[in-house]
Structure 1
Amino acid sequence: MTSKEIRTHFLDFFRDKNHKIVPSAPMVIKDDPTLMFTNAGMNQFKEFFLGSSSSKNPRVADTQKCLRVSGKHNDLEEVGKDTYHHTMFEMLGNWSFGDYFKKEAIHWAWEFLTKVCKIDPNNLYVSVFEGSDDADQLEMDKEAYELWKDIVPEDRIIMGDKKDNFWEMGDQGPCGPCSEIHVDIRSAAEKQKTPGAELVNKDHPLVVEIWNLVFIQYNRRANGQLEPLPEKHIDTGMGFERLCMVLQGVQSNYDTDIFTPLIREVETITNSEYGKSEKTDIAIRVIADHIRAVAFAIADGQLPSNTGAGYVIRRILRRAIRYGFTFLGTNEPFIFLLVKVLADIMGEAFPELKEQKTLIENVVREEEHSFLKTLEQGLVLLDTVVSTTKGKTVDGQKAFELYDTYGFPIDLTALILEEKGFQLDEEGFQKAMQAQKDRSKAASEVSKEDWTHLVEDAEQEFVGYDTLEADVKLVKYRKIKTKKDGDQYQLVFNLTPFYAEGGGQVGDKGYLEVPNGDVVYILDTRKENNEIIHFAKNLPKHPGETLRAVVDKSQRMRTARNHTATHLLHQALREVLGNHVEQKGSAVHSKYLRFDFSHFAKLTTDELRMVENFVNARIDEQLPLQENRDVPMKQAREEGAIALFGEKYGDSVRTIRFGQSIELCGGTHVSNTADIWHFKITSEGAIAAGIRRIEAITSDTVKELFANNDKTLGGIKMLFKGAKDPLKAVTDLLEENSKLKKEVEQLQKAKAKGLKSSLEQELESIKGLQFLAREVDLDAAGIKDLSFEMGGKHDNLFLLLASERNGKALLSCYISKKVVADKGLNAGAIVRELGKHIQGGGGGQPFFATAGGKNPAGIPKALESARDFIPE
């Protein structure tokens, strides 16, 4: 069976078992602070397991795109080295929310594998939770054992411990025992030598887990205790890639039709051959795997960046690039060429790949180009580290700086050092790495107590579209402790006017009026597992009382103006630039708005003016808000509503219309565009290949800008004694300043030329070098010109020049390239050491480097110490 047929058979099987087939949720999670990525099929159903909402469909099945590269589920370093770990993977799953339980889950799993897929039952093993004698004192899962005993011989039922056969969502929350189904695809001869039962959960590449059936029946409290859940659930997950491996009769996931087209393309582009060398094979597997993760993430709206989820995506892509660079000899971008092949393989099941293909290609190509330049720079920096290393072991801290500051991969560092006859202080590197992890963990550490429930099974209602005040009842609360904000409380009410952060819009702030006259301030509002959570510094003294919840009206109104402006901006960009423009992200605050969109070029001044004018024309038209809170998704799309890639939408959606602008949106908006008052773009620029960003302001912030501009213009007029044309006066001044600068530069050059002849006379021959350390009255540019002129005349020059400018000290070191090569001197390393005398630092290339400092009094000592660097 092809991979497409296998996916279809699975979904059809569970459709026939009365399961609702739902689409995959985005791989990048946007409204759950506990997760960056979907790392399991159950993530999009967490709210049902937690009881914060109920599912319309008690039985559900899907194929979910997942990513496991960070946190507890971290498979990244295994990917490529074996044949069955992946970053991005598909998880086939079926769920029951308080409906069927172990019997049906077990029987249907066996039926699908043996009847539909026709896997030989003699190649399958199952595992059952054996119980635990720790603090939980859990009994063996006898129910699952008895069910399996009726299906398979007892010698194929394996007892598993908590590590393998007890599933938990996290430190707290729903959990329960599980049964895993493993498949043995070894040859008959190998099976005769070693029974498959002995290889289950032993990381054997051909005896692998294929399906995990989780029986969610407990809740883990903050103190670690387990309590039975009122409703029991089923959560299963089957690795699609592994299933394809089994059904296609191959012994590696990478030999299935999911990966072979990608591998063939890599072979063609890089002129390499898969299957001939272990190092080459690993590199090709890494690249074929990683392009999937990166492409799906970008399609879901997550661009590579230096923080958060974007950092993880950048790290995955850079790992692929460096494997190509190191083992396939590629020094030009090529991974982006795989996007078309990937879209052909998976575009039918995941149409976002085809729809976003051009954007994905552009972003990946730009990232490849950037990182290849980083690798080149890293090689130069590594040469500097090697040249200044005493002995044959490179300091681990310096290697970590290369990794952390410049992004130079540590395994590449180790490989190059080995080729040069050096070794890496791995212990020192790991120590520096752990110290950074500890700092990061401490900064983000959060501990949460259990929820205290005041009202059981209460439904929460959001009333903030219609009112900014409401009488509310506290349903539950808990205390949390964070390193950043200290102790706080999370509060959940039966209803709330507070908007929770989402869709780019910040959460509301405000306060609670308590009957005794106290006030509890709401610092932020966020959504977690479909519940609106309010953050407060303290708790009402009598939590059971009715409270008056009041949203900060001025902040809400400013934010609403900015949110509506983003819709008008989106419309304007599509009108001015074309319908290829798509929103790729936004941030809506009370002071400003930020809008990211797809476009291939910098906007011209005229285009920016046209966009501004378009938005302000819509404001002047005084367009009323047309809101529909419950529209079938199909109808909304037929009406022209714009949906955003990477967002999760239900069967019914909310539409927001202002004139011809209509979008799916859950945010808050003004009742009329006239409330925005005025729209002004403050910046426009690129944030990635094919992605631009506009920042803008509205209403009160525009008024402040205009007032400040008026004040600045008045000040300029006063400086120019009331000039009738202040712009011309400033332009004339700049031209005059530029002319004077050129004259000063010419004088400096003449001065340096005159100084050169006298310095030539002062050169001192020491141990085969022409040496001079001297203070001169030149600026940095003059010193550099002088150094290179003298260096052009002498091939054995060691020159250190110093100067004082505006109370600051400057050191410049020039060493002839021949001396650098023959004697191992390094100007960058030398100025870093000498810079200590002037209380500063610096660096540069091995033949020319500079240092600056705040202590000119240290110049004589620095000049004197330069002699110490002359080698024997």
Structure 2
Amino acid sequence: MAQDKSWTAKEIRQQFLDFFQNKGHEVVPSAPMVIKGDPTLMFTNAGMNQFKEAFLGNRQPSSSRITDTQKCLRVSGKHNDLEEVGHDTYHHTMFEMLGNWSFGDYFKTEAIAWAWELLTEVYGLDQERLYVTVFEGDASENLERDDDAANAWKAYVPQERILNGNKKDNFWEMGATGPCGPCSEIHMDLRSNEERAKVEGASLVNQDHPQVVEIWNLVFMEFNRQADGALKALPAKHVDTGMGFERLCMALQGKQSNYDTDVFQPLITRLSELSGITYGTAEKSDIALRVIADHVRAVAFAIADGQLPSNNGAGYVIRRILRRAIRYGFSYLNLKEAFIHKLIPILSQQMAEFFPEIRDQKELVEKVILEEEQSFLRTLEQGLNRLDQIRQESQSKTVDGARVFELYDTFGFPPDLTALILKEEGMSFDIASYESEMQKQKDRARSATKVDTGDWVVIEEDDREEFIGYDHLEAKVRITRYRKVKAKNKESFQIVLNLTPFYPEGGGQVGDHGKLISENEEISIYDTKKEHGLIIHFCDKLPENPQAEFKARVDSKRQKSTSLNHTATHLLHQALREVLGTHVEQKGSLVNPDYLRFDFSHFSKVEDEQLAEIERLVNQRIRANFPLEEYRSIPMDEAKEMGAIALFGEKYGDLVRAIKFGDSVELCGGIHVQASGEIGLFTLMSEGAVAAGIRRIEACTGDAALQYLNEKASLLSSLQQELKNPKDPLAGLLKLKEENAQLKKQVEAFQQAQAAQERKAWAQAIESIDGVDRLILETSLDAKSIKDALFQLKADKPQLAAVIASKNDGKANIAVALGDAILASKDWKAGNLVKELAAEIGGGGGGQAGFAMAGGSKPEGIEQALAKAKTLLQ
């Protein structure tokens, strides 16, 4: 398999782009990996995602021929490779997809010819090792064999290496709905000559053989899959090819694994240095090294594209990937401290030439990952303590799977780590009951988020569907298409107009509300969003006559309030950069009629003096009454020359819109005031951390800001009256706090003295029976004092078996303590005992073998509980 040239990963990537550029293709940058404006996808999972609008005919691409390398992520939904990652040689979470595209231009013949030319003549791959597949047809879909593709391949490939493929392998669909079509895959046999002589490579194609792998898929987009499953012809035929960059590197570099190439080896080498474990020495550590090297790429690029780890949606997926990597290092590489953030400099050095965002966001990525690592390592520690408790409380060697699921759901403690730890103790857990609980949670989540979207009913084909909201708040319109949507058993409708003054949600700004008015009725529009290039209007009911002419009218008062807050975010961004430094970058925003929220990169708390200065600068620019300077549809280079700020994670076209107020210049598609003075007043409400290196400011403007300040003034007035200190309420409050602290000390001293007296009484009340120092009584001490006293008694009396009950605020508490000698000589566990006693007080509890506590709502059951304790401790 040796090539005439020794290819590096960078050379392979560049050669692909150069080849197709020479074939008349425009080279475009990768779209962000995190998708916005597409409700069907969280992440870019294929190279075609950013061109979906063009395939559907909703937008004209910048060129009829395009080439790129696209960052992709496959970890959820139909295309889910997560569990295979690291265990085999070629699956990944984040990967690069090299692609060339034709939008109504060339089709199968050219796509096949150029693919063969690049692979065999430019890259120099051995033709004898290449196999191709074509779609064999599918009777259930009324689809015939793709003879056009098969005939095109015959010019280059012998008949025996042109294989038929079924619908699963050779009919490409990006999801349940959307563009699709037959495809031709190119597979390569990477086995040794000896292995190839034993078994014909054709028999191993699409059989998940680790050395007979698909490297390129040529998709011929002809159809659009409807919600009812039907296939509808697309307006034009397109080509969508995707070649796995990592697999191509494996083939060209003569390796048996993607992880042996220079795409991953620098990361694996650094991990080996950190862990002291050499790659290739043991299967489990090798898997861990591969998993981490893969996962750090996915997490780092997601953060660079603007997606922070979180507890829901796309953020949860990123957190899950990161925690999976941490857990593999913790379990198999003995890396007990944060380590993944140390890989980012290597990744940045490798990838920055083609993906500059990883270099520009390097410091932020490192800090976010470090904080997530430290947080999860603490969670692992808590989970280990909880697992130890579960293990001790288990009545058998098989732990209830529901307890293991609870551990995962509460602490994020991975079940495979639970299984590993239990195995070391000669135990296991009930997998069936664990999976049952997991399925219940999935069903709950699915039912909560399930949305059934019907197919579009097209009234008229209209390619205008343009937004006129910058200049108009109402217009005469027609409905061009509509569809029915059902979610949570509620039916609603989505409609598209031939033109619209309604602003669709985007750039942090919420979508417009308003009405559609005809001669006979009014339809309320309660939201507006953009999907695949279409502006969609949400309403509870469909007009009686969808073909009538309507007046579309925006809720101008609501939009006006929103525009005040949107312009204020631009002024705020400028002020933050002036006061804190030019490292500040917007990381998200929410602009609605009531307030604004602005997330930005900064690595420390913003001090009160800085906040005051930021607020002063914004209000100063409001009073300056800077007029709006709007630049529509200008080239990106021109906008950059103006100093316009672009946002990371946003995909911009060749033509952009720039908004200028004074010295503030930003790329923005939102609605703004005509002059900054219309904002009236700007007031900060809060500032705090969102994640490592990300801060959040909330503020309000106009009448809302005035109301906020009036409420603050009213609160201050009430506080002054309560403190009877109208001149200096702060001094009065500090004096009150000092007095309260002194009283607390007195109470604590009294409780300690009382506890000391109680301990003496308890020592005298102990009954020594058959080698057990039994102590069973009720006390008036609080829970903390009881616990402290019992631990002191345990230290003095290892034969102690104590049950102490108390009442507090109408509730009952029971504590059980067992000394070390009792634990060694008897089959008693405090956690089990306290559960039995808790039943008498109408409650529950738990703890470890030596100490446990329970609470209940029936203090009248204390007497019976203590009587039961005497029986249990015989």
Superposition TM-score tier, normalisation by shorter sequence:
over 0.9
2:638 is matched with 635
Secondary structure, counterpart of 1:69 in structure 2: coil
Q: Provide the residue aligned with 1:364 in structure 2.
A: 369
- Among all aligned residue pairs of Structure 1 and Structure 2, give the percentage whose two residues are the same amino acid: 58
CA–CA separation in structure 1 for the residues paired with 2:530 and 2:827: 59
In 1, the alpha carbon distance for the partners of 2:77 and 2:287 equals 24
User: Can you list the C-alpha shifts for 1:638-657, whole angstroms capped at 9, x where unaligned?
Assistant: 22111111110111111111
> Which of residues 27, 42, 48 is equivalent to 2:48?
42
Distance 1:826 1:681, change over 3 A: farther
- The 3 A distance-change label for structure 1 pair 742 and 297 is same
8 Å Cα contact 2:725-2:732 kept in structure 1: no
Confirm or deny that 1:407 pairs with 2:412.
Answer: yes
**Residue 151 to residue 575, structure 1, CA distance change in 2 (3 Å):** same
**The 10-residue stretch of structure 1 (823-832 or 293-302) with the greater mean CA deviation from structure 2:** 823-832
Q: Which amino acid aligns with 1:521?
A: S
**Residue 665 (str. 1) matches residue 668 (str. 2):** yes
Which residue pairs with 2:3 in the alignment?
none
1:331 aligns to 2:315 (yes or no): no
Q: Equivalent of 2:460, from 455, 458, 470?
A: 455
- Do structure 1's residue 95 and structure 2's residue 95 form an aligned pair? no
Q: Which residue of 273, 281, 285 corresponds with 1:280?
A: 285
Do the aligned residues in 1 keep the contact of 2:389 with 2:847 (CA within 8 Å)?
no
Residue 240 (structure 1) aligned with residue 240 (structure 2) = no
Offset at residue 169 of structure 1 (A): 2.7
Specify the alignment match of 1:30 in structure 2: 36
CA contact (8 A) 1:387 1:824 kept: no
Q: 1:228 aligns with which of 223, 230, 233?
A: 233
Match of 1:479 in 2: 484
Which residue is equivalent to 1:270?
Answer: 275
Higher mean C-alpha displacement, 453-462 vs 840-849: 840-849
Distance 1:257 1:307 in 2: 34
- More deviation in 228-237 or 534-543? 228-237
Q: Do 1:808 and 1:855's aligned partners in 2 also have CA atoms closer than 8 Å?
A: yes
Q: Deviations over 1:406-458 (max 9, x none)?
A: 11111111111111000121111111111111111111111111101111143
Cα distance in 2, alignment partners of residues 77 and 869 from structure 1: 48
Residues 214-268 of structure 1: per-residue CA shift (max 9 Å, x gap)? 1111222222222323311111100000001111111111111111111111111
Q: How does 1:192-341 map to 2 (within 5 A)?
A: 192-341=197-346
Q: 1:114 to 1:472 in 2, by over 3 A?
A: same
Are residue 498 (structure 1) and residue 509 (structure 2) matched? no
Aligned residue identity for 2:139:
D
What do residues 133-189 of structure 1 show as CA deviations (whole Å, max 9, x unaligned)?
22x121111111111123211110111111001112322232111111100011111
1:71 aligns with 2:77: yes
| Displacement after TM superposition at 1:73 (Å) | 0.6
Range moving further from structure 2, 840-849 or 442-451: 840-849
Distance change in 2, residues 1:624/1:250 (3 Å): same
Is 2:392–2:849's contact at 8 Å kept on the other side of the alignment?
no
* 1:775 equivalent in alignment to 2:778: yes
Give the equivalent residue in structure 2 for 1:750: 753
- Match for 2:519: what amino acid? P
- Pairing 1:110–2:113 present: no
CA contact (8 A) 1:384 1:826 kept: no
Any unmatched runs of 5+ in structure 1?
none
Provide, for residues 836-870 of structure 1, a one-character-per-residue CA deviation record: whole Å limited to 9, x for no partner: 54444445555444444433333334434445664
Q: Measured at CA, do residues 474 and 728 of structure 1 come closer, stay the same or move farther in structure 2, by a change above 3 Å?
A: same
Shift, 1:783, TM fit: 2.6
Distance 1:23 1:721 in 2: 66
Match of 2:422 in 1: 417
Instruction: Give CA deviations for 1:693-737 in whole Å, capped at 9, x if unaligned.
Output: 222222232222223223323433444567444333333333323
Corresponding residue number in structure 1 for 2:792: 789
2:130 to 114, 118, 124: 124
Mapped to 2, the partners of 1:827 and 1:30 lie a distance apart of: 53
Separation in 2, partners of 1:468, 1:817: 78
Change (3 A) 1:645 1:747: same
Query: Could you tell me how far apart the structure 2 residues matched to 1:377 and 1:822 are?
Result: 29
For 2:857 and 2:618, locate their aligned partners in 1 and report how far apart those are by CA, in whole Å: 50
Q: Whole-Å Cα distance in 2 between the matches of residues 827 and 532 of structure 1?
A: 63
Q: What amino acid is aligned across from residue 403 of structure 2 in structure 1?
A: K
Alignment partner of 1:736 out of 727, 734, 739? 739
Once residues 155 and 480 of structure 1 are traced to their aligned partners in structure 2, the CA distance between those partners, rounded to angstroms, is: 49
Question: Pairwise CA RMSD of aligned residues?
Answer: 1.9
The alignment status of 1:694 with 2:682, answered yes or no, reads no
Distance 1:705 1:860, change over 3 A: farther
* C-alpha displacement of 1:767: 5.6
Cα deviation 1:299-350 (Å, max 9, x = unaligned): 1011111111111111111111111111111101111111111111111111
Residues of 2 paired with 1:824 and 1:23: CA distance?
Answer: 67
What is the one-letter code of the residue matched to 1:438? D
Matched, 1:800 2:803: yes
Counterpart Cα distance in 2 of 1:35 and 1:824: 55
> Larger deviation: 752-761 or 350-359?
752-761
The answer as to whether partners of 1:723 and 1:729 remain within 8 angstroms in 2 is no
Separation in structure 2 between the aligned mates of residue 699 and residue 823 of structure 1, nearest angstrom: 72
The change in CA–CA distance for 1:673 and 1:843 in structure 2 (over 3 A counts) is farther
Structure 2: how far apart are the matches of 1:195 and 1:869?
Answer: 72
Partner of residue 618, structure 1: 621
Deviates most, 601-610 or 798-807: 798-807
What residue identity is the alignment partner of 2:443?
A: D
Closer/same/farther in 2, CA of residues 623 and 184 from structure 1, 3 Å limit: same
Q: Corresponding residue for 2:516?
A: 512
**Partner amino acid, structure 2, of 1:90:** E
2:857 pairs with 843, 847, 854, which one?
854
Aligned length: 868
Give the 3-state SS of the residue equivalent to 2:48 in structure 1: helix
How far off its partner does 1:500 sit? 1.2
Look up the equivalent residue of 1:523 and give its one-letter code.
Y
Other-structure match for 1:606: 609
Aligned equivalents of 1:429, 1:768: Cα separation in 2? 42
- Residue aligning to 1:133: 139
Aligned 8 A contact 2:462 2:498 in 1: no
Aligned to 1:564: 567
Contact 2:52 2:179 in 1 (8 A): no
> CA contact under 8 A between 2:288 and 2:328: conserved in structure 1?
yes
Please give the alpha-carbon distance, in whole angstroms, between the structure 1 residues aligned to 2:432 and 2:376: 27
**Partner AA of 1:197 in structure 2:** A
Q: 1:669 to 1:192 in 2, by over 3 A?
A: same
Q: What is the deviation of 1:85? A: 0.3
- CA offset at residue 61 of structure 1? 0.8
User: Structure 2: which 5+ runs fail to align?
Assistant: 1-6
For residue 13 of structure 1, the aligned residue among 11, 15, 19 is: 19
1:566-592 CA distance string (max 9 Å, x none): 212211111111111111111222222
